[in-house]
């Protein structure tokens, strides 16, 4: 039962916050990285991003089970926050790859990332619904250590797990699978959960966000660089053990 409860908590966190948890952890790792001495210009941006994302992640966790009481604009903002988390994780992984290969050639993505985070936070602060959602909160946090989660959370987790299992099953028999749905329905979150569930089975893997305006060359370059980065980072990690 404890293992099941832990699994539910992990699934709920990913559904609510996207990749913000891994992003915050990776930003902390970068601040402790020995190569950062040569990249001091990025330290301030990284510290700012990390300091803004931590309360943002807590906020998303807190209001996730009240999403049905929010309007379309609010849901869109939450979906954008989760999508941005996946984009940031991709950018950080690419930066770590360059640090591992040739630190002097690493191009910092953090100034642009800082601007994106600042814009997202500013939009959040301007919305009255955030204040109302916090005031109306009937629990200290959406993620509780208690084994009894709110009814809506539990039912949604079951639905997410079922969809994730169905997606993984399809991927075993199909080269590609499309996930259809309107904005804010959790398409990227579902894809991310399926990716996390099967990624450890592969030595090289990547999770890349794609938009219609991107060229095929850009998409293929992103995939190739991320696969190479994950392979090198894994090799370095294995060597350090």
pLDDT-based confidence at 172, cuts 50/70/90?
A: confident
Q: Which of 43-47, 77-81, 229-233 has the lowest mean pLDDT?
A: 229-233
Kindly state the DSSP code that residue 107 receives in the 8-state scheme: P
- How far is residue 118's CA from residue 123's CA, in Å, rounded to a whole number? 9
pTM given for the model? 0.55
SS (H, E, C) the chain: CHHHHHHHHHHHHHHHHCCHHHHHHHHHHHHHCHHHHHHHHHHHHHHHHHHHHHHHHHHHHHHHHHHHHCCHHHHHHHHHHHHHHHHHHHHHHHHHHHHHHHHHHCCCCHHHHHHHHHHHHHHHHHCHHHHHHHHCCCCCCCCCCCCCCCHHHHHHHHHHHHHHHHHHHHHCCCCCCCCCCCCCCCHHHHHHHHHHHHHHHCCCCCCCCCCCCCCHHHHHHHHHHHHHHHHHHHHHHHHHC
Question: Is pLDDT above 70 for 109?
Answer: yes
Question: Positive or negative CA dihedral for 87, 180, 153, 197?
Answer: negative
154-178 as b/e: b if 16+ CB within 10 A: eebbeebeeebeebeeeeeeeeeee
- Read off the pLDDT of each residue in 167-188 and give the average, rounded to a whole number: 76
- Read off the pLDDT of each residue in 180-198 and give the average, rounded to a whole number: 73
- Residues 46-82 pLDDT 10s: 999 998 898 888 888 777 766 666 677 777 888 888 8
Residue % of the chain over a pLDDT of 70? 59
Residue % of the chain over a pLDDT of 90? 6
Res 14: pLDDT: 73
Res 10: pLDDT: 61
Res 63: pLDDT: 75
- H or E element that contains 133: helix 128-135
Which tops the pLDDT comparison, 137 or 192?
192
- Residues 113-165 pLDDT 10s: 999 998 888 877 665 555 455 445 444 433 333 333 333 344 455 577 788 88
Question: Is pLDDT above 60 for 187?
Answer: yes
């Amino acid at each position: 039962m404890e293992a099941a409860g832990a699994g539910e908590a992990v699934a709920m966190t990913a559904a609510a916050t996207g990749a913000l948890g891994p992003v915050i952890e990776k930003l902390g790792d970068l601040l402790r990285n020995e190569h950062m001495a040569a990249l001091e210009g990025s330290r301030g941006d990284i510290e700012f991003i990390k300091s803004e994302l931590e309360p943002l992640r807590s906020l998303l966790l807190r209001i996730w089970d009240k999403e049905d009481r929010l309007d379309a604009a609010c849901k869109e903002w939450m979906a954008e926050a989760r999508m941005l988390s996946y984009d940031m994780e991709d950018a950080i992984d690419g930066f770590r790859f360059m640090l591992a290969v040739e630190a002097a050639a690493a191009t910092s993505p953090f100034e642009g990332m800082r601007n994106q985070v600042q814009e997202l936070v500013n939009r959040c602060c301007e919305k009255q619904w955030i204040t109302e959602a916090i005031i109306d909160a009937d629990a200290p946090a959406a993620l509780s250590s208690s084994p009894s989660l709110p009814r809506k959370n539990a039912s949604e987790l079951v639905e997410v797990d079922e969809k994730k299992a169905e997606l993984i099953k399809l991927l075993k028999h199909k080269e590609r699978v499309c996930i259809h749905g309107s904005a804010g329905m959790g398409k990227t979150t579902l894809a991310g959960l399926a990716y996390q569930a099967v990624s450890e089975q592969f030595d090289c893997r990547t999770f890349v966000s794609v938009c219609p305006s991107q060229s095929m060359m850009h998409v293929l370059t992103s995939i190739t660089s991320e696969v190479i980065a994950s392979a090198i980072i894994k090799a370095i990690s294995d060597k350090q053990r």
